Amino acid sequence: MNALVVGLGSIGRRHARTLAKLGLETVVGVDSDGEARARAEADGLVGSAYDGIACAASHHTDFDLAIIASPTHLHAEHYLQAQRHVPAVFIEKPLAHTLDDLSRMLACARPRDMVACNMRFHPAIAELKRRMGDGAIGAPLYARIRYGQHLSAWRPGQDYRASYSAFAAKGGGIVLDDIHEIDLAQFLFGTITEISGLALRSGALETDAEDIASLTLRTERGILVSVFMDAVHPLYRREIEVVGAHGAFSWNESDNLLRFCAHGADGYAFAADFSAYSWEDMYEEELAYFLSTLADRAPSMNTIAEAAALLQTVLPWRDGSRRG
């Protein structure tokens, strides 16, 4: 199989490495930044790199897939361009940053195109979902989902003030940059039907986008989910707690232990250990899954339509919060 990787920043480089590890025959890169193209070629991440999708397609006519890993505000443009040359597209989250871009992408969405959702492939998340499905804690009643990490630590070696994450017009801001947590709320507890809360620019970062957000969600199953996310915490934090009618689960990525507490117990007890699992494993499983859907000619999970439906709920709330 042959792949086109659009965007050779940190996540594009990661995907290029993973594709090579998965045995793809050819990986071709696209980036408007000449230095990024030169680094990717010099590091052996891509066989060749070009400044645009059309240019790459004029030299290579047998792409099986494209990965869109460019800044968020370019996703719609690059998705529409890539569709002309490849049969399937894997596009990084968030799908888009405006409702107009969502409409353009939905108009030509295909069931085999997939939006990145790597946290769904974390084994602790899969185990939590399985155990809840087995009724281990009875009917889930509410959940708390938390993420925090200083923006300067997101992309080591890059000044965060120069990244798209620092600019609202480029799709930056903690709400979309950390759409993972909102996606997990829907993945674990059902379609989000109500959303409220605040998204604020603290002033602690040199950005013009929100860096702290507190959301209260209600799902179609009547479950209340609290999501708190920020880009200012000095330490990395990612954790989930779910409380049900008969018990509770707790997980944090710091130690990667899933814990369980039954009613009447004094505290949480060990349930499953995922401390040996790495982020590289998660990204590899995600892309391996996508490649398997192409081989089987099957629809993917988190299609364009599914990801767009979530953003059609989130974006109006975010925009309203920005306006105060």
Q: pTM here?
A: 0.95
What is the three-class DSSP state of 148?
A: strand
Nearest-Å Rg of the Cα atoms of the chain is 20
CATH number of 2-114: 3.40.50.720
DSSP 8-state class, residue 303: B
User: Token pair of 83, please?
Assistant: 């569709």
User: Token pair of 278, please?
Assistant: 């790495």
The pLDDT, as a whole number, for residue 323 is: 86
Asked if 116 and 92 touch (Cβ cutoff 8 Å), the reply is yes
> Which residues in the chain are classed under CATH 3.30.360.10?
119-323
User: Token pair of 123, please?
Assistant: 């084994």
Closest CA to 36 of 206, 163, 152, 153: 163
> Which residues in the chain are classed under CATH 3.40.50.720?
2-114
Q: Whats the size of the chain, residue-wise?
A: 324
The pLDDT, as a whole number, for residue 120 is: 97
**Residues with Cβ < 8 Å from 130, sequence gap 6 or more?**
none
Q: Is the peptide bond before 71 cis (omega within 30 degrees of 0)?
A: no
* C-beta atoms surrounding 115 within 10 Å: 28
Q: What single-letter amino acid sits at 200? A: L
Closest CA to 126 of 246, 286, 244: 286
**The residue to which tokens 């949480």 are assigned:** 268
Q: Report the CATH fold assignment for 119-323.
A: Dihydrodipicolinate Reductase; domain 2 (3.30.360)
**For 196-245, how does the pLDDT look when each residue is reduced to its tens digit (9 = 90+)?**
999 999 999 999 999 999 999 999 999 999 999 999 999 999 999 999 99
* pLDDT tens, residue order, the chain (324 aa): 999 999 999 999 999 999 999 999 999 999 999 999 999 999 999 999 999 999 999 999 899 999 999 999 999 999 999 999 999 999 999 999 999 999 999 999 999 999 999 999 999 999 999 999 999 999 999 999 999 999 999 998 889 999 999 999 999 999 999 999 999 999 999 999 999 999 999 999 999 999 999 999 999 999 999 999 999 999 999 999 999 999 999 999 999 999 999 998 999 999 999 999 988 899 999 999 999 999 999 889 999 999 999 999 999 999 999 887
DSSP 8-state class, residue 108: T
Phi, psi of 116 (to 5 degrees): -55, 140
Closest CA to 3 of 37, 46, 42, 41: 46
**The residue to which tokens 């890169």 are assigned:** 29
Phi, psi of 119 (to 5 degrees): -65, -20
CA–CA–CA angle 102, 106, 111 (5° rounding):
130
